[in-house]
Amino acid sequence: MVDEQITICMEQNGAKRVVFSVNGEDASWCWIVPFTIRIGMALVRMDGIGGVETKPEHRMKGYSRRVLARAMEEMRAGDAGISMLYGISGYYHRFDYVTAGPEYAVFVPGADGEVPLPDGWSVREFKPADLPAIRRIYDDQTALATGTAVRTENARVWQKLQETPGNYPQDECWVAVSPSGQVEGYAWRARWCWSVREILEREFADTLPLGEVIADCPDAADALLALCRRRAKEEGKEEALMMMPPDSTMANAVRYIDCRMVQLFTDNGGSMVRLLEAGRLLKALEPELSRQVQRSGWSHPCLLKISTELGEATLKVTEDSVRVLTAGADESNHPQYNVTLPGRVLARLAVGFARASDLCARAGVAVPDPVLYLLETLMPTRYQHMYLPDRY
């Protein structure tokens, strides 16, 4: 008799390993990795799926499907509103994941010799004493971003950065220093990241990929661009490759030089998102929904009930706030709109994949114009992006 079982093991970092075993041997597994990500002003609990693998001798037997199904049950019973992953094309849609957005790639040509820096600026190698400044830069520049990980002071990413001195050329990091001596930006090669080493370096062999390049001001961005262009040429590469959202300070800087800015979409693959529970997601989004309604000048207080196959919630929308109503709350003095959305549509709206009118039309969902307008006011399109060192 074959002994098959699925177990879930808790790791020290809060991650969970879901394992399918056959006769006591691990045959297939995946990881559930807890994150808090930013969606504008909102801090959203997200469970990432990573490390999905089945041993060669156990493939094509449905084991991975059973592992992922169990992982879905575990996440649904938890406290995350959404789950995300970076997937191969044509597989994870079976588990209700949908593409959340493209990869944003910037290709900058290498340059021979010295490229002028802004007056008074310099670049140098990272030192551990620079870490507080770099943490500040990351927090400042991702404060209203979408999809970026919230990093604690002791996050693994920062621990890895502290290991870079003396580890060249495996994991170089440079900083941009202002005329007053302040660190105002950094360019981190981050070759320890699987996505840098195994994907970018292989798929774009003529480039120098950098895992994370972030600047706090235009001059710092220009200084880092000059450094990256020079480093690319010194390593015999045609271009430097940086992954960054189009609304970042670095992306603004590259518009003033020769470069290529590319959005790389993957059909049913790449960055993907799945709804876990509508009420948890919408509750977490309250600060950002409130910011959007304030920016819009909305002047028609109302209730909006959003129903999905994975839960529902009623939003109280006023001129200056959006709140999820508690069960039994009496708000009958406000007009109420009701909309039923597939979970995949709500998940994509949350991360700003596309306009509500387009998502609903493609899903075959008939939504009255006032509701579409309200959905597009609360959940506009965005540049969803997680920096490579955080990827799981």
Higher pLDDT, 330 or 91: 91
User: Average pLDDT, stretch 306-315?
Assistant: 98
Per-residue confidence at 101, pLDDT binned at 50, 70, 90? Answer: very high
CATH architecture under which domain 277-378 falls: 2-Layer Sandwich (3.30)
Closest CA to 172 of 139, 213, 114, 121: 213
For residue 103, list its beta bridge partners. 264
Which tens digit of pLDDT belongs to each residue from 294-307? 999 999 999 999 99
> Does 211 score more than 80 pLDDT?
yes
Q: How many CB atoms lie within 10 A of CB 52?
A: 19
What is the spatial order of strands in the sheet that 311-317 belongs to?
322-324, 311-317, 302-308, 336-340
Q: In whole angstroms, give the CA distance from residue 287 to residue 284.
A: 8
Provide the pLDDT for residue 219: 98
> Does 168 score more than 90 pLDDT?
no
What residues contact residue 389 under an 8 Å CB cut-off, 6+ apart? 157, 160, 188, 190, 193, 211, 212
Per-residue confidence at 327, pLDDT binned at 50, 70, 90? Answer: confident
Q: In whole angstroms, give the CA distance from residue 352 to residue 386.
A: 14
Domains 4-99+268-272 and 277-378 share a fold: no
Which tens digit of pLDDT belongs to each residue from 128-142? 999 999 999 999 999
- Residues 224, 123 contacting (CB under 8 angstroms): yes
- Rg value, the chain, Cα: 23
Which tens digit of pLDDT belongs to each residue from 10-53? 987 889 999 999 999 999 999 999 999 999 999 999 999 999 99
Per-residue confidence at 278, pLDDT binned at 50, 70, 90? Answer: very high
**Bridging pattern class, strands 82-87 and 42-54:** parallel
Provide the pLDDT for residue 330: 67
What residues contact residue 60 under an 8 Å CB cut-off, 6+ apart? none
Poorest-confidence range of 125-134, 178-187, 321-330?
321-330
> Does 351 score more than 80 pLDDT?
yes
The hierarchical CATH code for the domain 4-99+268-272 is: 3.40.630.30
- Residues 308, 342 contacting (CB under 8 angstroms): yes
> Does 254 score more than 80 pLDDT?
yes
The hierarchical CATH code for the domain 103-264 is: 3.40.630.30
User: Average pLDDT, stretch 376-381?
Assistant: 98
Whether the model pTM is above 0.85: yes
> Does 169 score more than 80 pLDDT?
no
Return the domain boundaries, the chain.
Answer: 4-99+268-272, 103-264, 277-378
> Does 166 score more than 90 pLDDT?
no
Q: In whole angstroms, give the CA distance from residue 47 to residue 52.
A: 14
- In the chain, how long is the greatest CA-to-CA distance? 75
Poorest-confidence range of 59-63, 333-337, 355-359?
333-337
